[in-house]
Structure 1
Amino acid sequence: MIEHFPFYITLILVIILLIMLAHRIKVAYPVLLVGAGLLISFIPGIPAMRINPSLIFIIFLPPLLYEAAWAISWKELWRWRRIIGSFAFVVVFLTALSVAFVANTYIPGFSLALGFLLGGIVSPPDAVSAGAILKFVKVPKRMSSILEGESLLNDASALIIFRFAMLAIATGQFIWYEAALSFGWMLLGGVGIGLIVGWIFMNIHKRLPTDANMDIILTFVTPYVMYMTAEEVHSSGVLAVVSGGLLLSHRRHHFLKASSRLRGVNVWESIVFVLNGIVFLLIGLDLPEITAGLKQEGISFSAAVGYGLLITVVLIVMRFIAAFGAVIVTMIARNFITVADPTYPGLRVPLLLGWTGMRGVVSLAAALSIPVLLDGEPFPQRNLILFITFIVILTTLLLQGLTLPSLIKSIPLPAFDDYLSEEDAEYVIRKGLAKCALEHLNTRYSEQRGHHIFLQQLADKWEEKSREDTDPALPDESRDIYLDILNQQRQWLLDKNQEAEHVDEDIIRKFLHQIDIEEEKLKFI
């Protein structure tokens, strides 16, 4: 491995250059990375990138899932919980079931267990691909919230299916009541372990004298501890990371210092950037080796491509059925229960949701994690499963990934009134923050206000909302008062986020970030 180290460094530089190119030509970067990996693999003398299958999940999944849990809004996840839950669990299961029956019927040598294994691998859409595409086009907030929430939870449900299928293949039997008990433990145990480990780390951050560097390192350790602890007791490591990540994300302003939050965001973005790039590049780099394995098993290249396209069609059709079915179910359910969105969204929204089923990181990680040997014998159909997964990822990225921006631009979406516009939301928040700060200053520090020029200047700024910020040298008392006011504003924002359903949490987070920056600036005044 050491002798190939320059090659790995070169790959990281290639990833950066390709993502820069993708941003320049406004194409989702996973598309370019997959194609580049395929081209690089044909260069003579290129070393093969092999990772132990048992380490794939441990290396890539915990940090990627943890970062996704931190990025998502709990408020939006709860608001759209019904449609997110249906897509993340019901739709994933039905998709895996459809893939299993189609594979068992049309692909020689595929048992139902192998079909379910393949279904668990390819059923979850990829959040990274969809997010990369949505950066170039504007969609209603509800759609991006649903896609983010679905992608976070469908990974867990798909990998549970994958795990049960692996168990059935290894043991040669499937006992439904044992599977039901095991499923319950995986679900409840995974969530419970994630919350317990998250609570422990939250108190470590809060009660021990950590600095920003220590906090950032602890945030990297946390998802791995969650994942490995849950897997050690045979529950779901994925659900542990997701549930623990959601807990810590929701409580981040109660146990992490401003400096840790500011620096941690930058570090995490860089790490996840590299991990995602490596995974998508791996998809292309692995194809020649997978193709060679197909030849050894006597499967023609054209037949394998046909199987991959067949499974891709099944996935696309099932997602369209799910998208339009969700609308129908919502229209029926609104007559009996209160739903998040009682209005009829028309055909355009489910059409776009149905076309956002690109596959990527999780599917590849699951496929690569299949062991090479099973009880000393080659794992049945492993190379074909890997090749079908590659075809599914490549086809959905190229077909749906390249056409989705044009589809969004060509189909006018309804003008939903779920959220205030960004301008209106920022106006409401700025006005509320100024009022909160003034009330706190006048209530608790009315005497000090007249004695400190800096505090008077802040009061004037908040009252007039037009002066430039000033950064004069601060006496210690003024600094402490200003810090207290910033904490009060931070709490006001957190309360506002809970109370104001129509204010986008991303805007709230932007203002919280600004307050963290303002607090960090106090160290240099």
Structure 2
Amino acid sequence: MLENFPFFLALVVIIVLLIMLADKAKIAYPVLLILAGLGIGFIPGVPILHIEPELIFLIFLPPLLYEAAWTISWKELWKWRRVICSFAFVIVFLTALSVAFVANYFIPGFSLALGFLLGGIVSPPDAVSAGAIMKFVRLPRTIASILEGESLLNDAASLIILRFALIAVATGQFVWYAAAGSFAWMVIGGIAIGLIVGWLFMKLHKYLPTDANMDIILSIVAPYIMYIAAEKAHSSGVLAVVSGGLYLSNNRHLFLSSTSRVRGFNVWQSLCFILNGLVFIMIGLALPEITSGLGEVSISAAIGYSILVTAVLIIGRILSSYGVVAFTLIAKHFITVADGRNPGIKGPLIIGWTGMRGVVSLAAALSIPLQLEDGSPFPQRNLILFITFVVILLTLLLQGLTLPYLIRMLNLSDRDQTRSEDEIDNEIKQQLAQHALTHLKTNYPEELKRQPILQQIADKWENSSALPENAIISEETKTVYRAILNRQRLWLIQKNKEEQALDEEIIRRHLHRIDMEEEKWRLI
């Protein structure tokens, strides 16, 4: 391990450079990272990377799911719960079933149980890939919310299918009532354990004398505790992390200080940035090991099977997207749905095309045991691994590269948002200032008279409320203000150099305030 440490350091540098290149070229970075991993893997002398599935499931998956749960809107998740659960559970199951029948019919030696195992592995789309692509294009809020919500839950459905399929392959039978009971416990138990652990961590944050550093450390530990506790109880670790993350996210202002929230946000952004980069380049690096294990199956035949499975996945997801729309339009006559309007053909097509597969599928394939309980080799394991890898590669290249162009070509409009974000933001800013000003004048009239600083704050809010509705800060204004802030920064640095007796810590505090002010204006 230590002898490969320089190689891993070089990988981190390569990841950063490739993501910079992807941002410059407006390409989803998972595509470049996988291709780079492929190229690096065939360089003579490069260490062959053996990916342990436990590394992905235990080290990478909990923090990535936890961060996603913290950033998603619970309001939108609840609003679109029926559609999201349809994609995350029903469609994942139907996709796995479709792959099972196709694999059983076209791939020699594939039983229905093996086909169902393969289907469970490749059925969940990858959230990171879709998120990386959506950085460069704007989607209507409805579609973005559905995709974000689906990404939180579909991994759990896939891993549950994987567990049942492994049992069916090993025993040669499938007891449906036992599977139904186990499925119920995995879902209910996973959610319950996540909520319990989340509640305990909230109490730790709230009642222990923690500071921002301790709060951040606890937030990093929390998803691992949720995942491990649920897995030890034979329930879904993924659902535990998601439910616990959603619970803590919606109560963050009750137990975390503003300092902990600001610093924690930056730490989590950096942590997930490098984790996402590592998992995708590791996929590319795994190809030499996967290819070497094919055995009697020729490369050309294996590629053909992989293309067939990829076609089933793409076509199946698009048909499922339109099926969900059709079901919603029918169901609105009998139940209350979030939005009963006909979305047309554009929205479902976009959702259907966001079916890129990723690292969870590869880790699930790698978790297949080498041998059955009787000591015989696990049937078709190497072919399943190869098909999974090619499916990931093809969906990322085909769908990942074309999705931004498809979104721009369809030119979707957000029917729920009749005004621009800048207009809404400006309105809320003025209402917030007016609310604060009224509260100050009503509850602190004497303090307002005695304290000049409070009067200055009140004047600032009054001026903010007096701005016209269309007073949106332009990019030119931001550029000028950032230039002034930079000038202040240079003046402080020069003053620190010239006055040797001046305490540098005071200068650093002022520099930090300028940095915070510049960051605030970056978000305006």
TM-score grouping bracket, smaller chain normalisation: 0.7 to 0.9
Letter in 1 for 2:161: I
Separation in structure 2 between the aligned mates of residue 436 and residue 371 of structure 1, nearest angstrom: 61
SS in 1 for 2:247: helix
Of 330, 333, 340, the residue aligned with 2:331 is: 333
2:141–2:414 CA contact under 8 A, matched in 1: no
Do the aligned partners of 2:50 and 2:289 also contact (CA within 8 Å) in 1? no
User: 1:370 and 1:274 mapped to 2: Cα distance?
Assistant: 27
| Structure 2 residue aligned with 1:398 | 397
Q: 2-side partners of 1:344 and 1:64: how far apart?
A: 34
In structure 2, do the counterparts of structure 1 residues 273 and 323 end up closer, same or farther at CA, with 3 Å as the change threshold? same
Q: What's 2:471 paired with?
A: none
Determine the C-alpha separation between the residues in 2 that align with 1:56 and 1:168.
Answer: 24
* 2:299 equivalent to 1:304: no
Moved more, 167-176 or 301-310: 167-176
Q: Distance in 2 between matches of 1:94 and 1:417?
A: 31
1:365 alignment partner AA: A
State the distance in 1 between where 2:315 and 2:155 align: 20
Alpha-carbon spacing, 1:415–1:68, altered in 2? closer, same or farther (3 Å): closer
Equivalenced residues, count: 472
TM superposition shift of 1:5: 0.3
AA of the residue aligned to 1:309: I
Check if 1:165 corresponds to 2:197.
no
Q: 1:438: which partner in 2?
A: 437
1:419 to partner: Cα distance = 6.6
**Alignment partner, residue 260 of structure 1:** 260
Shift of 1:81: 1.1
Structure 1: gaps spanning 5 or more residues: 470-513
SS of the counterpart of 2:334? coil
Task: Give how far 1:372 is off.
Answer: 2.8
1:82-129 Cα distance to aligned partner (Å, 9 max, x none): 111111111111001101111111111222222111111111111111
Distance 2:224 2:274 in 1: 18
Aligned amino acid, residue 282 of structure 1 = M
Distance across 1 between alignment mates of 2:335 and 2:273: 42
Tell me which residue corresponds to 2:384.
385
1:453 alignment partner AA = P
Q: Equivalent residue of 1:378, what SS? A: coil
Between the aligned partners of 2:161 and 2:283, the Cα distance in structure 1 is 22
Q: 1:314 aligns with which of 312, 315, 329?
A: 312
Offset at 1:279? 1.0
Q: Is the 8 A contact 1:142 1:418 kept in 2?
A: no
Cα 1:198–1:355, aligned 2, differ >3 Å: closer, same or farther?
Answer: same
* Residue number in structure 1 paired with 2:350: 352
C-alpha distance in structure 1 between counterparts of 2:329 and 2:413, whole Å: 17
Letter in 2 for 1:356: T
How much does 1:373 deviate? 3.3
Once the 2 structures are TM-superposed, how far is the Cα of residue 158 of structure 1 from its aligned partner? Answer: 1.2
Aligned mates of 2:252, 2:376 — CA distance in 1: 48
Contact 1:56 1:369 in 2 (8 A): no
Contact 1:125–1:357 (8 Å) recurs in 2: yes
**Per-residue Cα deviation, 1:266-300 (whole angstroms, up to 9, x for no partner):** 11111111111111111111111111100xx2010
CA distance in 2, matches of 1:367, 1:17: 29
Matched position secondary structure for 1:371: coil
Residue by residue, what CA displacement relative to the aligned partner does 1:382-415 show, whole Å, maximum 9, x if unpaired?
A: 2111111111111111111111111111112244
- Whether contact under 8 Å (2:194, 2:243) holds in the other structure is yes
Which amino acid counterpart does residue 422 of structure 1 have in structure 2?
E
Distance 1:72 1:420 in 2: 22
Correspondence for 1:14: 14
Given that 1:100 and 1:113 are in contact with CA atoms closer than 8 Å, whether structure 2 keeps it comes out as yes
Q: Give the residue type in structure 2 aligned to 1:33.
A: L
Q: CA deviation at 1:418?
A: 4.7
Q: Which residue of 2 aligns with 1:447?
A: 446
What residue is the counterpart of 1:112 in the other structure? Answer: 112
Residue 129 of structure 2 aligns with which residue?
A: 129
CA distance in 2, matches of 1:25, 1:414: 25
Can you list the C-alpha shifts for 1:201-229, whole angstroms capped at 9, x where unaligned? 01100110011111111111111111111
8 Å CA contact retained: 1:228, 1:237: yes
Provide the rounded CA distance (Å) in 2 between the counterparts of 1:123 and 1:267. 32
Distance across 1 between alignment mates of 2:237 and 2:248: 16
Q: Aligned-pair RMSD on alpha carbons?
A: 1.9
The runs of at least 4 consecutive aligned structure 1 residues that moved more than 4 Å come to 466-469
User: Superposed, which structure 2 residues align to 1:165-314 within 5 Å?
Assistant: 165-294=165-294, 297-314=295-312
Change (3 A) 1:51 1:356: closer
2:367 alignment counterpart: 369
Give the secondary structure class of the aligned counterpart of 1:248. Answer: helix
Deviation at 1:421, TM superposition (A): 2.7
C-alpha displacement at 1:420, in angstroms?
4.7
Q: Among the aligned pairs, what percent are the same residue? A: 66
Q: Are 2:42 and 1:51 aligned? A: no
Contact 1:212-1:259 within 8 A present in 2 as well: yes
Q: TM-score, normalised by structure 1?
A: 0.87
Q: Secondary structure at the match of 2:450?
A: coil
Whether the 8 Å contact between 1:28 and 1:129 is mirrored in structure 2 is: yes
Q: Which amino acid aligns with 1:106?
A: F
